[in-house]
Amino acid sequence: MSSAGEKELAEVAVWRKRSLLTYFLLVFGLTIPFWVLGALTEIQLLPGLPVAALATFCPALAAAMLLYQEHKAAGVIALLKRALDFQRVRAKIWYAPTLLLMPVVMTLSYVALRLMGVPVPAPHMTVVSALVLFLIFFISALGEELGWSGYATDPMQLRWSALQTSLVLGVIWAIYHLVGLAQAHRAVEWIAWWSLGTVAARIIIVWLYNNTGRSVFVAALFHTTINVTWQVFPINGSFYDPRVTGIIMAGAAAIVVAVWGPRTLARYRFA
């Protein structure tokens, strides 16, 4: 057996030992103080983004705590290195859907709203402010994806298909945001449609992850585009309609599943 094959078998053995229930309970436990903080203040980090959003680093923190328990500092260092694991991406063409899919989705959302008669204004944001937002959201996305993708996705895919993994993780991801959305005074219907788009987004993230050598960097990069395009739609997230965007995202996810197949969402598992 090649050294690469031996390494993959060793990784699989490690993934099998991970307790996903322990991980998810720890994530939610670490998030509670931020929910309490959000309940005590009306301060927003950005328009539509309550203080509870600072919990974005809890998935990575939970993963780091468990990895330290399992492998000491070496496990934590290995996890952090995956933040910039772009060397895993052999086919650079995958950067195209990673960076362009969300701008296309939001453009279609904009057009759909205009056709529905909604007076959506033209986008108004400078290149500099967009780049600053991108940097901020990339750092926050790593706080989540080092956990969701870097720690949880692989052992979940040992148990279930890629689609099942995406759906389960997508629902957990949506639930993780519910308190923050409520503190941002979102209506129940708004949250329901947002949750549809979020589960669909997780399908796309797992698809990208599996086709880029399991790159957390790529997962975080796509996660970043979700938040940036929302914040600039068209002005600080104003007029953003999760009903329209959620349906478009669900359509995109359905195409991915139909073309790449639900078992792996990739031509080869962990391509």
When pLDDT is averaged across residues 2-15 and rounded to a whole number, the result is 68
Percent of the chain with pLDDT over 90: 82
When pLDDT is averaged across residues 13-17 and rounded to a whole number, the result is 80
Q: Residue 7: pLDDT band by 50, 70, 90 thresholds?
A: low
Residues 106-136 have pLDDT tens digits of: 999 999 999 999 999 987 778 888 899 999 9
When pLDDT is averaged across residues 72-89 and rounded to a whole number, the result is 97
* Whether the Cβ atoms of residue 222 and residue 204 lie closer than 8 Å to each other: yes
Q: Residue 236: pLDDT band by 50, 70, 90 thresholds?
A: confident
Residues 153-201 have pLDDT tens digits of: 999 999 999 999 999 999 999 999 999 999 999 999 999 999 999 999 9
**pLDDT exceeds cutoff 60 at 1:** no
**pLDDT exceeds cutoff 60 at 271:** no
C-alpha to C-alpha distance for 159 and 161, rounded to whole angstroms: 7
Q: What is the pLDDT of residue 3?
A: 58
**pLDDT exceeds cutoff 70 at 210:** yes
* Whether the Cβ atoms of residue 248 and residue 105 lie closer than 8 Å to each other: yes
- Model pTM score: 0.94
Q: What is the pLDDT of residue 205?
A: 98
Q: What is the pLDDT of residue 267?
A: 72
Give 190 or 269, the one with higher predicted confidence: 190
**pLDDT exceeds cutoff 70 at 220:** yes
Mean residue pLDDT of the chain comes to 93
Evaluate the CA torsion angle 149, 82, 75, 140 in order and state its sign: negative
Q: Is 6 exposed, middle or buried (0-12, 13-18, 19+ CB in 10 A)?
A: exposed
Of 2-6, 47-51, 246-250, minimum mean pLDDT range: 2-6
C-alpha to C-alpha distance for 266 and 248, rounded to whole angstroms: 21
Q: What is the pLDDT of residue 37?
A: 95
* Whether the Cβ atoms of residue 242 and residue 193 lie closer than 8 Å to each other: yes
Residues 28-77 have pLDDT tens digits of: 999 999 999 999 998 888 888 999 999 999 999 999 999 999 999 999 99
Residues 90-99 have pLDDT tens digits of: 999 999 999 9
* Whether the Cβ atoms of residue 203 and residue 166 lie closer than 8 Å to each other: yes
